Copies of this chain bind each other. A is one copy, B any other.
């Protein structure tokens, strides 16, 4: 398709940052929109400047433009600007400083409460909501919406980082935000203007052959891919002057070693039941 042969072309900076030195055939189909997506980085240092109401509205419009399963819209989001609530959420999420400091925290909810209410207002049964399938649908709906929101925020020059730590203490988060039964904070998201004195970098990912399978799942490229990724991440940590002990594979394995490595999330099912989800 391209007149310039791929291997001889200068590497694309966005692809090079995302994949390290690994060759990637995507360069022939890039455009400014995709280049913006490629430039994502997780921001953990923010200026205190507020996110404007217009920016928030644009971010939410982008979120609502993501697909929703059967158009059920099984998600909600709580926008928290109040400094005291942010500090309490930060405490729930393992005392992450950026949750306290970012001017806006978006807490994304898997929300079965709304449709439960809608069905009740109609006097109609809603026993389908008792099933794990609908909980999972709500989690997916929330995630799709949130990713559009993150991408939109970044296009406005804002930084974001997902906060999975919001699942460390789900009942406390629900109490703080006044959630009804059957609403669950899937994750948080810091939003704000990145502190230019502490810039974040694009993190490399494994080569496409590690995650992309053609026709059928194939584990053959995995071991070589992990080894190459270990090296790419080691170079990244060195370039960022980050002191990370161990390679990516060891670091990742430690993260899932057992229940004690899950920051309290080993009791997620118990917490979901306490929040009213039946999970049949």
Contacts and interface: CB of A to CB of B under 8 A. Distances in A.
Q: Is the interface of A mostly helix, strand, loop or mixed?
A: helix
Contacts of A143: 139-140, 143-144, 147
Contacts of A215: 78-82, 85
A95 interface: no
A63 B208 CA distance: 10
A229 to B, nearest CB: 9
A56 B210 CA distance: 15
B134 A256 contact: yes
B73 A206 contact: yes
Contacts of A69: 162, 164
A169 interface: no
A268 B279 CA distance: 10
A58 interface: yes
B52 A65 contact: no
Contacts of A66: 37, 40, 147, 150
* Most chain B beta-carbon contacts within 10 A, residue among A66, A114, A128, A205: A128
Q: For the side of the interface on A, what is the size category?
A: 35 or more
A81 B127 CA distance: 38
A219 B180 contact: yes
Contact of A18 (B55, B61, B71, B133): B61
A201 interface: no
Given A65-B38, A143-B140, A29 B1 contact: no
A49 interface: no
A91 interface: no
Interface string A231-265: 00000000000000000111011111111011001
A274 interface: no
Contacts of A109: 217
A97 interface: no
Given A1-B54, A179-B217, 11 more contacts: A25-B54, A30-B58, A73-B210, A77-B211, A79-B215, A117-B222, A121-B223, A122-B250, A124-B253, A125-B257, A178-B218
28 contacts: A18-B61, A18-B64, A24-B57, A26-B60, A29-B58, A33-B152, A37-B62, A37-B151, A38-B62, A39-B65, A40-B65, A63-B211, A64-B205, A67-B161, A70-B255, A78-B213, A78-B215, A78-B216, A109-B217, A115-B253, A118-B222, A119-B253, A126-B257, A128-B255, A139-B139, A144-B162, A180-B217, A266-B280
